[in-house]
Chain A
Amino acid sequence: MRDPGKPVLVYDQIEENRRRALTLIGLFSLISVPTVLYAGGVVVGLFVLAISVRVGLGGVPRLAPAIPITGGDFFGSTIGIAILLLMLVVAAAYFMSADLILAAVGARRLHEREEPELHRIVQNLCIGAGLPVPRLYVLEEVGPNAFALGNDPASAVVIVTRGLLELLDRDELMGVIAHELSHIGNRDTAATSLLIVLTGLLEFPRNAVISLIKGEGASESVINASSYVYAGFVLFWPLIGVPMSKLLDTLGRDANRAGTSVFGVLWIAIPVASLLHVVFIAPLLADLARAALSREYESRADADAALLTRNPQGLAEALAKISGATEARSLTTTPVSQLCIVDPVGGGFETHPPIEHRIATLSAMTGGSIMPSALEQAESEGAEWASDVPASAVVAKGAFRLEASCTLFDTPTYAGLQIDELQVDDVVVLVERYDDFFRVITPRDTFGYIRVSTPMKMAADLPGTPLSTKLWVEPPPEVPKRRPDFFG
Chain B
Amino acid sequence: MVDWLPVLVVGLLALILIGLAVRYNGLVQARVRTQEAWSGINVQLQRRADLVPNLVEAVRGYARHESVTFEAVAQARGSVQRAASPVEATVANLFLAQALGQLFAIVEAYPELKASRSFAALMDDLADIEEKIAFARQFYNMNVLSLNTRIQTVPDMFYARMFGFSTFQFFDADEGADVVPHLTFAPPVAVTPPADVPGA
Interface residues of A (CB under 8 A from B): 7, 9-12, 116-117, 120, 123-125, 127-130, 308, 310, 406-407, 409, 413-416, 418, 451, 483-488
> What are the residues of chain A within 8 A of B116 when measuring CB–CB?
488
For B120, the closest partner residue in chain A by CB is A483
- B135 adjacent to A125 (CB under 8 Å): yes
- B194 adjacent to A486 (CB under 8 Å): yes
Q: Smallest distance from the beta carbon of B40 to chain A beta carbons, Å?
A: 7
> What are the residues of chain B within 8 A of A451 when measuring CB–CB?
193, 196
> What are the residues of chain A within 8 A of B143 when measuring CB–CB?
9, 130
Q: List 7 A-B contacts (CB under 8 A).
A: A7-B145, A123-B132, A124-B131, A127-B44, A451-B196, A486-B194, A486-B200
Residue B117 CB within 8 A of the other chain: yes
- A487 adjacent to B115 (CB under 8 Å): yes
- A415 adjacent to B198 (CB under 8 Å): yes
Question: Restricting to B80-133, which residues have a CB under 8 Å from any CB of A?
Answer: 112, 115-117, 120-121, 128, 131-132
- A414 adjacent to B117 (CB under 8 Å): no
Q: Is the interface of B mostly helix, strand, loop or mixed?
A: helix
Assembly CA distance A413 to B138 (angstroms):
36
Q: Smallest distance from the beta carbon of B113 to chain A beta carbons, Å?
A: 11
Q: What would 10 more interface pairs be, CB under 8 Å, given A127-B139, A130-B142, A407-B197?
A: A7-B145, A124-B131, A127-B40, A130-B37, A310-B138, A415-B198, A483-B120, A484-B191, A486-B194, A488-B117
> What are the residues of chain B within 8 A of A487 when measuring CB–CB?
115, 191
> What are the residues of chain A within 8 A of B138 when measuring CB–CB?
128, 308, 310
Q: Smallest distance from the beta carbon of A29 to chain B beta carbons, Å?
A: 28
- B146 adjacent to A12 (CB under 8 Å): yes
Assembly CA distance A450 to B128 (angstroms):
29
Q: Which among A310, A407, A413, A483 has the greatest number of chain B C-beta atoms within 10 A?
A: A483
Assembly CA distance A124 to B137 (angstroms):
12
For B124, the closest partner residue in chain A by CB is A483
Q: Smallest distance from the beta carbon of B105 to chain A beta carbons, Å?
A: 22
Assembly CA distance A9 to B148 (angstroms):
12
B196 CB contact (under 8 Å) in A10, A128, A406, A483: A406
- B136 adjacent to A9 (CB under 8 Å): no
For A123, the closest partner residue in chain B by CB is B132
> What are the residues of chain B within 8 A of A310 when measuring CB–CB?
138
Assembly CA distance A484 to B193 (angstroms):
8
Residue B60 CB within 8 A of the other chain: no
Q: How large is the interface on B (under 10, 10 to 19, 20 to 34, 35 or more residues)?
A: 20 to 34
- B128 adjacent to A11 (CB under 8 Å): no
Q: Which among A10, A130, A409 has the greatest number of chain B C-beta atoms within 10 A?
A: A130
Q: Smallest distance from the beta carbon of A116 to chain B beta carbons, Å?
A: 8
- A418 adjacent to B198 (CB under 8 Å): yes
- B139 adjacent to A129 (CB under 8 Å): yes
Q: Smallest distance from the beta carbon of A434 to chain B beta carbons, Å?
A: 15
- A127 adjacent to B136 (CB under 8 Å): yes
> What are the residues of chain A within 8 A of B19 when measuring CB–CB?
none
B198 CB contact (under 8 Å) in A9, A128, A416: A416
- A11 adjacent to B188 (CB under 8 Å): no
For B196, the closest partner residue in chain A by CB is A407
**8 nearest interchain CB pairs?**
A128-B135, A414-B198, A485-B117, A127-B135, A9-B146, A488-B115, A128-B138, A415-B199
Assembly CA distance A116 to B124 (angstroms):
12
- Contacts A414-B193, A416-B198, A486-B193; A124 near B117 (Cβ below 8 A): no
For B33, the closest partner residue in chain A by CB is A11
Question: Restricting to B45-95, which residues have a CB under 8 Å from any CB of A?
Answer: none
What 1/0 flags go to B21-34 for Cβ under 8 Å of A? Answer: 00000000000010
For A488, the closest partner residue in chain B by CB is B115
> What are the residues of chain A within 8 A of B44 when measuring CB–CB?
127
- A483 adjacent to B188 (CB under 8 Å): yes
Assembly CA distance A10 to B131 (angstroms):
20
For A131, the closest partner residue in chain B by CB is B139
Assembly CA distance A120 to B142 (angstroms):
22
- A414 adjacent to B189 (CB under 8 Å): no
Assembly CA distance A407 to B115 (angstroms):
27
Q: Smallest distance from the beta carbon of A309 to chain B beta carbons, Å?
A: 9
> What are the residues of chain B within 8 A of A483 when measuring CB–CB?
117, 120-121, 188-189, 191
Q: Smallest distance from the beta carbon of A480 to chain B beta carbons, Å?
A: 12
What 1/0 flags go to B167-200 for Cβ under 8 Å of A? Answer: 0000000000000000000001101011111111
Assembly CA distance A7 to B132 (angstroms):
20
Assembly CA distance A418 to B132 (angstroms):
38
- A128 adjacent to B139 (CB under 8 Å): yes
- A124 adjacent to B188 (CB under 8 Å): no
For A125, the closest partner residue in chain B by CB is B135
- A414 adjacent to B132 (CB under 8 Å): no
Q: Smallest distance from the beta carbon of B110 to chain A beta carbons, Å?
A: 13
> What are the residues of chain A within 8 A of B120 when measuring CB–CB?
483, 485
Assembly CA distance A413 to B115 (angstroms):
21
Q: Smallest distance from the beta carbon of B94 to chain A beta carbons, Å?
A: 21
Assembly CA distance A484 to B117 (angstroms):
9
- B191 adjacent to A485 (CB under 8 Å): yes
